[in-house]
Amino acid sequence: MTTHRIDSVRLGLVRLPLKTAISDAKVFTGRQKPLTEVAVLVAEIATSDGYQGLGFSYSKRAGGPGLYAHAREVAPELIGEDPNDIARLWTKLVWAGASVGRSGLATQAIAATDIALWDLKAKRAGLPLAKLLGAHRDAVRCYNTSGGFLSTPLDELLDNAEESLSRGIGGIKIKVGQPDAKADLRRLAAVRERLGDEVTLMVDANQQWDRATAQRIGRTLEQFNLEWIEEPLDAYDAQGHAALAASLDTPIATGEMLTSVAEHWTLIQAGAADFVQPDAPRVGGITPFLRVAALADHAGLRMAPHFAMEIHLHLAAAYPHQPWVEHFEWLEPLWNERLELRDGHMLVPHRPGLGLTLSEFAAAHRTDEVEITS
């Protein structure tokens, strides 16, 4: 049997500007500045048999140049390797940069190449990635987040929600966590009144409450029949999240900020989430994401992966328990393709791999690029 090898790895850093500056609770509490762009690390891996895989990672606010620099240092380890050995190659890259850790920026930098290898493997099989992994469904329930930021005036937020539902999106998430909790409650009440009791609603506090505040506000939020309360506490407060999950009727969702399997295992063992929200680019790629998914499945948890719908649609489709996928259109300018929405669901594309090709916009907004060969 002929073994094909990795001939080249092309890395690029793309600066993706947002149409308007975005603020969530972290901005309202003074911990961050408004978000104006997303930095996207793109990896393209070419093999000796003529196939090419595409993957990406990302950073909001700081970190994009760091992702690119670390990926550039360790990517030469892939040259000449068998692209099928994805798990071994993930471990090889992690250990190549282990002096800066096996989580955080180090794993987010190698996520782009790991995702590219999975895209490549699915393309060689002639299958969408979800089918390669073993899909449980061909469409996944989806909810919109991008229309509900705290920086969005209430009238515009309500219009965004109705527009999302009319496009075929199945749920609406709005941001909370303002210093004045009454302002959050007024916005949420207005959304529920406009959309009615049948529409699925979620809220996201972006880690800005302490335990006492989260408990008190969580009890008040029970009246709105929410699908979940997201990140009510610091992302690493597994015990605090577990206490909320045990005491509230409304489910707790968290996990998006974690950057390793070990961190997710701590969360799951503590019973800290009803919905686990891993992010493949943040946790280090599809290889570790699948490990998190296996742990979550074993615990009987529901899943709602964070951001990067272009990747997470496939991963959610392969999760045994009925998941959600998050609709964020921010990355759409990077691709020539669009995901299809219908009846509250996002449809898994029939195209091989992730089903994505880079657009001219992506090429025009690259600030750094390198091609690594033998």
Sign of CA dihedral 250, 261, 128, 163: positive
DSSP string for 286-300? HHHHHHHHHHHHHTT
Show the tokens assigned to 130: 């979800």
Show the tokens assigned to 25: 């609770």
Q: Which of 26, 173, 175, 312 is catalytic?
A: 175
Residues paired with 175 in a beta bridge:
204
What whole-number distance in Å separates Cα of residue 94 and Cα of residue 120? 20
Per the annotation, the verdict on 175 as an active-site residue is: yes
Under 8 Å CB-to-CB from 165, ≥6 apart: which residues? 172, 195, 199
What whole-number distance in Å separates Cα of residue 140 and Cα of residue 59? 25
Q: What are phi and psi of 130, to 5 degrees?
A: -60, -40
For 173, what's the count of Cα atoms within 13 Å in the CB-facing half-sphere?
Answer: 26
Per the annotation, the verdict on 121 as an active-site residue is: no
What 3-state DSSP class applies to 348?
coil
Q: Which of 131, 306, 314, 327 is catalytic?
A: 306
What whole-number distance in Å separates Cα of residue 334 and Cα of residue 352? 18
Q: What are phi and psi of 49, to 5 degrees?
A: -100, 15
What 3-state DSSP class applies to 360?
helix
Catalytic residue numbers, as ranges: 175, 306
